[in-house]
Amino acid sequence: MWSAAEPDAGVAGLPLLPADEYSLVTEGFNATGRDREAATLGRRFVERASLTPDAPALLFEGATRSYGELLERARRIAGGLAGAGVRAGDVVGVRLERGFGLYETIHAIALLGAVYCPIDPDLPPARVEAMLADAGVTHLVDDPDLLVGGEPYAGEVPGDVDAPAYLLFTSGSTGRPKGVVIGHRAIDNRLAWMQHHLRLTPGERVLHKTPISFDVSIWELYWPLQVGATVVIAPPGAHRDPRALAELIVAEGVAVLHFVPSMLRAFLGDRPARERVAGGRLRGVVTSGEALIPDLVAGSLKWFGVAPVNLYGPTEAAVDVAVWDCTAADAADGHSVPIGRPIWNTTCFVLDAALQPVGVGSPASSGWAASSWRGSTAAAPTSPRSVSSRPPSAGCTGPATWPPGVRTAPCATWAAPTTR
């Protein structure tokens, strides 16, 4: 391999990839463009609720809320928030346990075009105060019943898809937790892609068990209710109890659910839980948040009857940026389960320490940069994780620059292309 450059060019910045391979890893793998008409979370929900007002939207502890009932309750809470001065663009904190009130409140916020900011009810007061201050929260909802006494909101649902939709704090595992603002265009793209990939049908049931402080909860909260499906809400604390989850999954006929791999391991390690769920109707097990290990793929196939759909991505890029549909081949000992290919309108790059693209099968790079939904207001990070500017050409020398995005995995490698 050789590279030509100016005499004073640094060796670290020399382009070493042939033009065809450079094109493959920067453009071919990222041919994800999908023209589509975006909409706000509020408008998506109102459209669905208007189509199927009598269909079941939520199931919780033996009770049901129809789409029409959920919309009516959301309008009443929105009326209370508007009466308290909340306007489009304002950040509204939500500190609620799982239940009907959580869904009613987040959709009320969407009706107003305000910004949803989840606050875990279990957080200590000092942490909550810091988050409220950092996010600029104008109103905190911890009891939606206090907001329903007046007239329901009857105004137009804002339609600016480049406005912020929600603000979610990262875990703080790499330092102080930071708030990440995601726009409607970005999350609408992500949810539409998930519907295309998993194809929920009206009435199918999705389990909501993820704590609201984690970004996975976003698709549990919004996606099913955009397509006429039904959300089965796990009681508070049930996400830590494999046997309670197994009973809920089977009794309520859950079709799609999510596991962080460590929680999947705990579930499969509980014999009564795994044996109970073997009699269920699951057709989709989604994993993300941690590396997926082959024995978990094997366990999912054995007890759920399906291989996981493995997702990967940072909070800054609207939940996920890559997908891999596992098969039995991913259950083989010693196999490394891929994080997959970029989803719609998303680009992923594997770069070396000098931010130069690496080729297929090259040793793991020092970082992966991802840009979620070109042109969206999602991910405006200011941390060292951010990567911003334009992609270099195949013949450039010197420091490479990339589209707005986020450095994510500490190491990654492009696998050889497959037909999967």
Q: How far is CA 271 from CA 103, 274, 284, in A?
A: 33, 5, 21
In sequence order, the β-bridge partners of residue 323 are 311, 341
The per-residue pLDDT for 387 is: 43
With beta carbons less than 8 A apart as the criterion, state whether 270 and 245 touch. Answer: no
User: Helices 41-51 and 100-112 sit at what angle, rounded to 10 degrees?
Assistant: 120
The per-residue pLDDT for 285 is: 98
For residue 263, report the phi and psi dihedrals to the nearest 5 degrees: -75, -30
The per-residue pLDDT for 383 is: 36
- Alpha helices, DSSP H, located in 37-164: 41-51, 67-83, 100-112, 125-135
Rounded Cα distance between 24 and 80, Å, is 53
With beta carbons less than 8 A apart as the criterion, state whether 180 and 169 touch. Answer: yes
In sequence order, the β-bridge partners of residue 233 are 208
The per-residue pLDDT for 211 is: 95
pTM assigned to the model: 0.89
Per-residue pLDDT of the chain (420 residues; tens, 9 = 90+): 555 666 776 666 666 788 898 888 888 888 999 999 999 999 999 999 999 999 999 999 999 999 999 999 999 999 999 999 999 999 999 999 999 999 999 999 999 999 999 999 999 999 999 999 999 999 999 999 999 989 999 999 999 999 999 999 987 666 677 899 999 999 999 999 999 999 999 999 999 999 999 999 999 999 999 999 999 999 998 888 999 999 999 999 999 999 999 999 999 999 999 999 997 889 999 999 999 999 999 999 999 999 999 999 888 888 889 999 999 999 999 889 998 999 999 888 888 777 788 888 876 554 454 544 433 333 333 333 444 434 444 444 434 455 555 555 556 777 766 655
Tokens matching residue 94: 């939500």
The per-residue pLDDT for 214 is: 93
The per-residue pLDDT for 368 is: 53
User: Helices 261-268 and 294-303 sit at what angle, rounded to 10 degrees?
Assistant: 50
The per-residue pLDDT for 279 is: 77
Q: Residue 374: what residue type?
A: R
With beta carbons less than 8 A apart as the criterion, state whether 114 and 88 touch. Answer: yes
Tokens matching residue 113: 């075009």
Residue 129: count of CB within 10 angstroms of its CB: 11
In sequence order, the β-bridge partners of residue 183 are 164
Residue 114: count of CB within 10 angstroms of its CB: 27
Dihedral, CA atoms, 70, 75, 76, 78, nearest 10 degrees? 120
Instruction: Give one DSSP letter per residue of 206-275, joined into a string.
Output: EEE-S-TTSTHHHHHHHSGGGTT-EEEEPPTTGGG-HHHHHHHHHHTT--EEEE-HHHHHHHHT-HHHHH
Place of tokens 């450059």: 5
With beta carbons less than 8 A apart as the criterion, state whether 165 and 116 touch. Answer: yes
Tokens matching residue 225: 């209710």
Tokens matching residue 104: 């009613």
Rounded Cα distance between 339 and 163, Å, is 30
With beta carbons less than 8 A apart as the criterion, state whether 303 and 325 touch. Answer: no
Nearest CA-CA partner of 417 in 341, 309, 366: 341
Helix, coil or strand: residue 286:
strand
Domain ranges, ordered by start, for the chain: 1-31+347-420
With beta carbons less than 8 A apart as the criterion, state whether 101 and 63 touch. Answer: no
Angle at 363 (CA atoms; ends 359, 366), nearest 5 degrees: 95
Tokens matching residue 171: 């875990």
For residue 84, report the phi and psi dihedrals to the nearest 5 degrees: -85, 0
**Pairing of the two strands 284-287 and 256-259:** parallel
**Pairing of the two strands 341-342 and 91-94:** unpaired
**Pairing of the two strands 91-94 and 115-118:** parallel
With beta carbons less than 8 A apart as the criterion, state whether 104 and 153 touch. Answer: no
In sequence order, the β-bridge partners of residue 405 are 387
For residue 407, report the phi and psi dihedrals to the nearest 5 degrees: -75, 130
